[in-house]
Chains A and B, each alone.
Chain A
Amino acid sequence: MGESVDKRDAQQRADRIRAFREELAQLEHEDALSLDAVQRATLESHLQQTLAELAKRFDVDTTASQKQISWGMRVASTLGGLALCAAIVLFFQRFWGLLGVPAQVTVLVVTPLVVLAATEFAARRERTLYYASLFSLVAFGAFVLNLTVLGSIFNLTPSRDALLAWGIFGLLLAYTYRLQLPLAAGLICLLSYLAAGFSSWLGAHWLSFPERPENFLLGGVILITVPGLHLQRRYAEFDWLYRSLGLLTLFLAILILSEWGAVSYLPMRQSTVEMIYQVTGFAGAGMALWMGIRSRFAGVANLGAAFFTLFLYLRFYHWWWNWMPGYLFFLVIGLISIGLLALFRKLRRRMAEVVRP
């Protein structure tokens, strides 16, 4: 565990060394600083040694091109994981009919376990965890297939408990190997489980949970608060995912309710409900923007800005589209966008001031 936090720190240190070298070269070019040959050799040897040590212990990216390739590897491992999931599902469907029930059950039970073993094997062999990430996604997909198809074979009534099992499985994979993809998949399942529980508790069928966006509000709030928990501090690299997913859930639910109040549980007129959620949307997005800037959470600030703009444009559409000529409407929208751009620039500058030590 400590090792992985160190790995994050190690990557940050490698990035700082790279930036330091670039800045040093620039300063020398501008004649602002000059090192003598001995100093230069000592410094270069120290930096080289530090980078070599970091690369050896933590497999960090020590150059810009290495970092770019790492991003490509992350994308490739995600796509590969998804493709392998699809391959397992289609392979099973292709041969399902040729197997007896005991063989079907055996294949379904064994598949996620074998892929779990492959994940562990990959994690032991490779410190960067690209293959482990790929296999963890396949293990998650295999477990989803497992419960879905077992339910189909025995004609069982669909149960929301499957969402809970998948969610816990995703979190176990994520926290065991410190992987973000299974964490995202697991959190989406747990959010759905909680929303389905609300739907069921309020008298509707659990599968109707997406029809009432308020079912997701509590789940969104819980996700946002998780990074503040003491236990979560050892897994700080997951914080942005909790915050982003939580905020996205809240804003999407509020956006739908601000446009279509009929799907709310609130015992009020549709127009009143819509107005409440419009105000909540503006306040929430504004607060996210402010908090994001204040606490230096770039993702939170970006989400806040994006939804604030979206809420604003939707209001403009409802207020003006019907009585304004089309060209004038878009002209006004264009001018407002320029105004917003100026406002965000100002905020950006303020953010830079906050970041400056």
Chain B
Amino acid sequence: MRRIGILLAVALVMTADIFVVLKAAQNRSGSPIATIELTERELRFVRPQRESTALFMELAWEPAWGRFKFEDGPGWFNQAKLEEIGYDCRLALSDPSAAAHYRAMPAKEAFAVLEYSEASGSGVGNDRSSWSRLVAVDAGRDFMLLRKKYPDTRFLIVPSLVRLLYTAKWDPNTRKDAPGAYLRGAVVEMQVGQVSVPPSQRSVLQALSQTTSDYLAMTDARARGPRYSVVLYYGRHYEPWIGSCRLLTSAGIK
């Protein structure tokens, strides 16, 4: 009996690992479904742990969390889009329990359409110059429909998590929610938000002493611009991997 238990445990470990490796190989087989070159503004260099030697990059997009105001309105991610994604928005916003009801709604899976536009962060030197040039412009449940709608290569369609947000009007004088609210959606997370840097590309990034957040916090960094660019591929399972990294000569490497 004990021998069977041990053999089953070994078989489980081996099966799970083979499954993971095959899944990864399948994702990268054939030609990638998307290829895009992004800069440090969109793929941010992070170090996960103090003692870790692993290198990761984090996908950043706009609008980033915390940049919403009531006056901005829902934009393209309105109630109709939320319902299309599968949120039940039948409860009237005037209902006394609406805030609690909508705020408790969990995240759902959807494909986010991110438009890459070099010109979107105009105004060199200001805060916006360090913002990501990837902007969420649409979301949906069907990849093929979205690809048909956005065939251009500047549109990256990636699996993400979206959330319904009950946005109440804020009265700064009373520091309380004011009458008036609307529902909007937000792309809150990418299903694969962190991309590991393969060993073949580590040497390129080894020259960087600072993570992106530390670098962009410096005032002169905004003027110098991003320090590197990365070619990112997406495979058959919509999972990314880094093809190559190169340092940009415009920014002094620090």
Enumerate chain A interface residues (CB-CB to B < 8 A). Answer: 1, 90, 93-101, 105, 108-109, 112-113, 116, 120, 123, 139, 143, 146-147, 150-158, 162, 165, 168-169, 172-173, 175-177, 199, 203-205, 207-208, 211-212, 260, 262-263, 269-270
A143-B13, A153-B196, A155-B240 known; A93 and B6 CB under 8 Å? no
Asked if A262 and B100 make an inter-chain contact with CB atoms under 8 angstroms apart, the answer reads yes
Task: Return chain B residues, CB-CB under 8 Å to A177.
Answer: 2, 5
Distance from A89 Cβ to chain B, minimum over Cβ atoms (Å): 9
Q: Does B53 contact A (CB under 8 A)?
A: yes
A97-B54, A147-B16, A150-B21 known; A1 and B1 CB under 8 Å? yes
Asked if A205 and B55 make an inter-chain contact with CB atoms under 8 angstroms apart, the answer reads no
Q: Mark B228-254, 1 if CB is under 8 A from A, else 0.
A: 000000000111110000000000000
Asked if A116 and B97 make an inter-chain contact with CB atoms under 8 angstroms apart, the answer reads no
Bound CA span A57–B80, Å: 72
Distance from B13 Cβ to chain A, minimum over Cβ atoms (Å): 5
Asked if B9 and A169 make an inter-chain contact with CB atoms under 8 angstroms apart, the answer reads yes
Asked if A172 and B5 make an inter-chain contact with CB atoms under 8 angstroms apart, the answer reads yes
Task: Return chain B residues, CB-CB under 8 Å to A113.
Answer: 10, 13
Task: Assign chain B's interface to a size class.
Answer: 35 or more
Asked if A97 and B9 make an inter-chain contact with CB atoms under 8 angstroms apart, the answer reads no
Which residue of A100, A156, A204 contacts B239 across the interface (Cβ within 8 Å)? A156
Bound CA span A173–B237, Å: 33
Asked if A205 and B12 make an inter-chain contact with CB atoms under 8 angstroms apart, the answer reads no
Asked if B54 and A165 make an inter-chain contact with CB atoms under 8 angstroms apart, the answer reads no
A154-B24, A211-B106 known; A176 and B6 CB under 8 Å? yes
Asked if B196 and A262 make an inter-chain contact with CB atoms under 8 angstroms apart, the answer reads no
A93-B52, A262-B97, A270-B100 known; A101 and B198 CB under 8 Å? yes
Interface residue SS majority, chain A: helix
Which residue of B17, B104, B106, B194 contacts A199 across the interface (Cβ within 8 Å)? B106
Which residue of A112, A157, A175, A260 contacts B5 across the interface (Cβ within 8 Å)? A175
Task: Return chain B residues, CB-CB under 8 Å to A108.
Answer: 17
Interface residue SS majority, chain B: mixed
Bound CA span A85–B10, Å: 19
Asked if B51 and A90 make an inter-chain contact with CB atoms under 8 angstroms apart, the answer reads yes
Bound CA span A205–B13, Å: 26
Q: Does B209 contact A (CB under 8 A)?
A: no
Asked if A116 and B101 make an inter-chain contact with CB atoms under 8 angstroms apart, the answer reads no
Task: Return chain B residues, CB-CB under 8 Å to A152.
Answer: 54, 56, 194, 196
Most buried by A among B16, B192, B237: B16
Task: Return chain B residues, CB-CB under 8 Å to A205.
Answer: 106-109, 161
Bound CA span A262–B104, Å: 6
Task: Return chain A residues, CB-CB under 8 Å to B54.
Answer: 93, 96-97, 152
Bound CA span A153–B199, Å: 10
Task: Return chain A residues, CB-CB under 8 Å to B12.
Answer: 165, 168-169, 172
Bound CA span A239–B213, Å: 51
Distance from B198 Cβ to chain A, minimum over Cβ atoms (Å): 7
Task: Return chain A residues, CB-CB under 8 Å to B2.
Answer: 120, 123, 176-177
Q: Does B69 contact A (CB under 8 A)?
A: no
Q: Does B159 contact A (CB under 8 A)?
A: yes
Q: Does B73 contact A (CB under 8 A)?
A: no
Q: Does B216 contact A (CB under 8 A)?
A: no
**Apart from A152-B54, A169-B9, what are 12 other A-B pairs with CB-CB below 8 Å?**
A94-B51, A113-B10, A123-B2, A147-B17, A155-B195, A157-B159, A176-B5, A176-B9, A203-B86, A205-B108, A262-B104, A263-B104
Asked if A204 and B13 make an inter-chain contact with CB atoms under 8 angstroms apart, the answer reads no
Q: Does B128 contact A (CB under 8 A)?
A: no
Q: Does B49 contact A (CB under 8 A)?
A: yes
Which residue of B108, B191, B198 contacts A157 across the interface (Cβ within 8 Å)? B191
Distance from B51 Cβ to chain A, minimum over Cβ atoms (Å): 5
Task: Return chain A residues, CB-CB under 8 Å to B6.
Answer: 116, 120, 176
Distance from B73 Cβ to chain A, minimum over Cβ atoms (Å): 25
Bound CA span A147–B52, Å: 18
Distance from B201 Cβ to chain A, minimum over Cβ atoms (Å): 12
Task: Return chain B residues, CB-CB under 8 Å to A105.
Answer: 17, 21
Distance from A198 Cβ to chain B, minimum over Cβ atoms (Å): 11
Task: Return chain A residues, CB-CB under 8 Å to B55.
Answer: 97
Q: Does B8 contact A (CB under 8 A)?
A: yes
Q: Which chain A residue lies CB-closest to B104? A: A262
Task: Return chain B residues, CB-CB under 8 Å to A1.
Answer: 1
Asked if A172 and B8 make an inter-chain contact with CB atoms under 8 angstroms apart, the answer reads yes
Bound CA span A90–B48, Å: 12
Asked if A146 and B17 make an inter-chain contact with CB atoms under 8 angstroms apart, the answer reads yes
143-190 of chain B: CB within 8 A of chain A: 159, 161
Asked if B17 and A262 make an inter-chain contact with CB atoms under 8 angstroms apart, the answer reads no
Which residue of B9, B27, B49 contacts A172 across the interface (Cβ within 8 Å)? B9
Distance from B178 Cβ to chain A, minimum over Cβ atoms (Å): 21
Asked if A203 and B108 make an inter-chain contact with CB atoms under 8 angstroms apart, the answer reads yes
Task: Return chain A residues, CB-CB under 8 Å to B8.
Answer: 172
Asked if B13 and A109 make an inter-chain contact with CB atoms under 8 angstroms apart, the answer reads yes
Q: Which chain A residue lies CB-closest to B56? A: A152
Q: Which chain B residue lies CB-closest to A211? A: B106
Bound CA span A258–B96, Å: 19
Distance from A213 Cβ to chain B, minimum over Cβ atoms (Å): 11
Asked if A270 and B101 make an inter-chain contact with CB atoms under 8 angstroms apart, the answer reads yes
Which residue of A96, A146, A212, A262 contacts B53 across the interface (Cβ within 8 Å)? A96
